[in-house]
Amino acid sequence: MFNSTSNGNRKGVPDWLNSSLWSSSTPPPPSSPKSSPNDVVPPRAVKSTSKTAEESTYDPPAPAQEQAQATITAPPTAAIRPDPPKVEAQDPLVTSRRYYSIDEDDDEENGARSYNDATAAAVPASSAAEDISWQAQLLQELSRKVINMGELRRLASQGIPDGAGIRSTVWKLLLGYLPCDRSIWSSELAKKRSQYDHFKEELLMNPSEITRRLEKSSPKSDESDGEDKGFLSRSEITQGDHPLSLGKTSIWNQFFQDTEVIEQIDRDVKRTHPDMNFFSGDSSFAKSNQDALRDILIIFAKLNPGIRYVQGMNEILAPLFYVFINDPSEENAVSAEADTFFCFVELLSGFRDHFCQKLDNSVVGIRSTITRLSLLLKEHDEELWRHLDITTKVNPQFYAFRWITLLLTQEFNFADSLLIWDTLLSDPEGPQETLLRICCAMLMIIRRRLLAGDFTSNLKLLQHYPPTNIRHLLYVANKLRTHPAC
């Protein structure tokens, strides 16, 4: 655990947390607007705490996805479709790899030791070569007849490159939607997609249409004259078919009970990532994406009456749908809604207890999970834990509730969230343990600011988490697993 001295010397902090690799003096960013981090989809939660690229940016040692994308070709089985319509000024999946913001305090704490010119110039070249090799390894693994999930998890945990539909395919494998055996992919996908079509037909139909179809399928419908066709006589309307029926089996009673949930879903879907034209706006493209999210959430709510819909599920659903509909395979993109539904169910199965209010105070509820985060921080940095928990009395629920329930989708920009999810989904222990380590790392890498702050400043900082180097964050989180506290 940390034992920082009173004069600010970081002698007791492990070297792997303070490596100069993450806080070197950086060259000014390119003048082209395409390289500016301000063109990346801005984080919803970060407002006044955001820093400009001129204040603190750094080109990390392992990105340069752009060069790699130009070199790696798509798997031979993928049918390439034309690029989707441009809905953003700059694709967040491309720009996110360059110029991450770093907290200015990290520069102070790490001594701001900078690379010499020769070393700095060598980093991008080696990174590009490593990146090409890394994508090639992933594509090679995905082309195997039977995929080695252990190797795939290892590769994916470092972040999945954009392009060639790699992330879409890997996420489906990591979530168990696709089996390891490639030979049965087609049959499994066809079965699941057909099942989802059946769900839509059965669960999204209003009672009037159900009654109309039942009447149409009745033998009497053929004998009815044209004037009466399509209507039931009063004597034929059962108690369950009557719109004013309060019976538990009444389709109308259930319809009216669902209305409140559907209205909440409608409101939340329209608020999903308002800074991205992909999800918001008046274009037909955005409307169709909103409709897909809405249908998925309604079907999930109806199939899971114990949980139904809880506010915030739309934020967890959004990254899945975005990744799947941008698959370069036309067949996969067309079926993105069905694939997203089943992957959403799989992902939520590991966190569903967090959305059940009756379980909040149980050992599997959200409060228990937040307590585990607090204990993890105490284990690795007791000084920081004591300052937050005892001195300033910042209750972890004030910030960690959103971090955990929304899987960090609101703390970082959209592109960085995808990188974090690559790591979350690839962990063989399950996403929850990795999520807690990342949350703990988020606290540790801004520890100096937290130790210097009071209740008000710390709460504001944690509820509006500052931009940070995502690769450094994931590096520190991984070290919490490999370097247990002394």
pLDDT band at 294 (very low <50, low <70, confident <90, very high): very high
Give pLDDT tens digits for 385-417.
Answer: 999 999 999 999 999 999 999 999 999 999 999
Q: From the CB of residue 228, how many other CB atoms can be counted at a distance below 10 Å?
A: 12
**Alpha-carbon distances, residue 246 vs 180, 232, 254, 255, 260 (angstroms):** 48, 20, 9, 11, 16
Decide which of 350 and 73 is more confident: 350
Tokens 């003048």, located at residue: 31
Give pLDDT tens digits for 181-201.
Answer: 999 999 999 999 999 999 999
**CA nearest neighbour of 317 among 285, 276, 345, 354:** 345
Among 83-92, 144-153, 411-420, name the one with the lowest average pLDDT.
83-92
Predicted confidence at residue 45, as pLDDT, reads 37
Among 29-38, 203-212, 279-288, 357-366, name the one with the lowest average pLDDT.
29-38
Predicted confidence at residue 260, as pLDDT, reads 86
The per-residue pLDDT of the chain, averaged, comes to 73
- Model confidence at 41: pLDDT above 50: no
Q: Cα separation of 454 and 464, whole Å?
A: 15
- Model confidence at 281: pLDDT above 70: yes
- The Cα angle at residue 369 between residues 367 and 371, in degrees rounded to 5: 70
Predicted confidence at residue 291, as pLDDT, reads 96
Q: Determine what percent of the chain is predicted with pLDDT higher than 90.
A: 49
Q: Cα separation of 383 and 1, whole Å?
A: 8
Predicted confidence at residue 253, as pLDDT, reads 60
Residues 342-359: what's their mean pLDDT? 80
Written as six digits, the tokens of 464 are 């509006």
Q: From the CB of residue 130, how many other CB atoms can be counted at a distance below 10 Å?
A: 16
Written as six digits, the tokens of 106 are 């990290």
Predicted confidence at residue 134, as pLDDT, reads 76
Residues 219-227: what's their mean pLDDT? 49
Our measurement of the distance from residue 368's CA atom to the centroid of its chain's CA atoms, rounded to an integer in Å, reads 22
**CA nearest neighbour of 102 among 44, 32, 37, 47:** 37
